[in-house]
A and B are shown apart, each in its own frame.
Chain A
Amino acid sequence: MNNFRMAPLFLALGFLLFATTPLLQSCSSSYDAVGMQNVANLSTKLTTLMGKASTSTYDPNKSEITEVAADLKKAEEHGAMQKRNQEIANSWQILRTEQVEPFLTRWKEGKLDKDFVKEATAQVQKSLDAIKKAEQAKRK
């Protein structure tokens, strides 16, 4: 009789544990394949484009600049749409507004010095590496 009376308690406990496990998992950051793809894509495109600033002027590269800038904006928007992803979304925004856009503005003024371009490109690459590390830390 006692066994029979305890059964609903254990059943309820089982349901509670069953229900809270996926809930906790959904609260945590999960692996973002698109986010990873965005980092990989921009690591190549952005640094290659910036490297051209020491050998060529802005105008002949305009279409490539527009394309890469659009990709960067898309990566930022994608990051902002993900749950519990505030830090990565902010990182994309800082990369765009404080590193890439100021660089492109200077490039518009004319060809840039080789040593300067090398250092600015290295900064952008390291920022992208940091975003990649944060994406990789997410649970698969």
Chain B
Amino acid sequence: MPDKKKDIKVALDDLDNQVISLVGNFVKRRKAHYEKAAQMLHQNLKKDTQRYAEMLSDKKISGEDFEFLLQGRAAQMKIELLAELSMSKVKFDDIAMAVLKLTANTVFENI
């Protein structure tokens, strides 16, 4: 039985690297995701602002309408960023669960 105890300790110690690599892979993946999401949000914001400016110069909307649309667009951007943040929190919960499962499985395999 002391051997078993030692086996479990060794197996759990081996997990350190696996956990680091699990989190490291996730963050790398999410970093690319955030950069892409930020780029997309910025591109959409530029496109919309340009369209509002064209509508203003074509006199399709008033100056007041233009200002209103810019403020509304800023609100839309805030909501889109909050949605990204909310989704990333769910992903971090997934990491916690993955680490727990990895640890639990390793212990049960060695009992």
Chain A nearest CB from B10 CB (Å) reads: 16
B61 contact set on A, CB distance < 8 A: 113, 115-116, 119
Contact B69 A87 (CB under 8 A): no
Check A81 for interface membership: any CB of B closer than 8 A. no
For A127, give the chain B residue with the smallest CB separation: B79
Check A63 for interface membership: any CB of B closer than 8 A. no
Contact with A along B71-82 (1 / 0, CB 8 A): 111111011101
Q: How far is the CA of A123 from the CA of B73 in the complex (A)?
A: 6
Contact A134 B93 (CB under 8 A): no
Interface residues of A in 1-46 (CB under 8 A from B): 2-3, 5-6, 9-10, 13, 17, 20-21, 24-25, 27-29
- 13 extra A-B contacts, CB within 8 A, seeds A27-B96, A113-B62, A115-B61: A21-B104, A24-B93, A87-B89, A88-B83, A95-B79, A98-B72, A113-B65, A120-B69, A126-B76, A127-B75, A127-B80, A130-B82, A130-B83
Contact B96 A102 (CB under 8 A): no
Q: How far is the CA of A133 from the CA of B96 in the complex (A)?
A: 22
Q: Which residues of A contact B (CB under 8 A)?
A: 2-3, 5-6, 9-10, 13, 17, 20-21, 24-25, 27-29, 84-85, 87-88, 90-91, 94-95, 98-99, 102-103, 106, 113, 115-116, 119-120, 123-124, 126-127, 130-131, 133-134, 137-139
* Interchain residue pairs with CB less than 8 A apart (26): A2-B1, A6-B4, A17-B103, A24-B96, A27-B96, A29-B86, A87-B89, A95-B75, A98-B72, A102-B71, A102-B72, A103-B72, A113-B60, A116-B65, A119-B69, A120-B68, A120-B72, A123-B69, A126-B76, A126-B80, A127-B75, A130-B80, A130-B82, A131-B79, A134-B82, A137-B90
B104 contact set on A, CB distance < 8 A: 17, 21
Chain A nearest CB from B71 CB (Å) reads: 7
A103 contact set on B, CB distance < 8 A: 68, 72
Contact B97 A24 (CB under 8 A): yes
B100 contact set on A, CB distance < 8 A: 17, 20-21, 24
For B55, give the chain A residue with the smallest CB separation: A115
Chain A nearest CB from B103 CB (Å) reads: 8
Known interface pairs A24-B96, A116-B69; A131-B83 also in contact (CB < 8 Å)? yes
Contact A99 B75 (CB under 8 A): yes
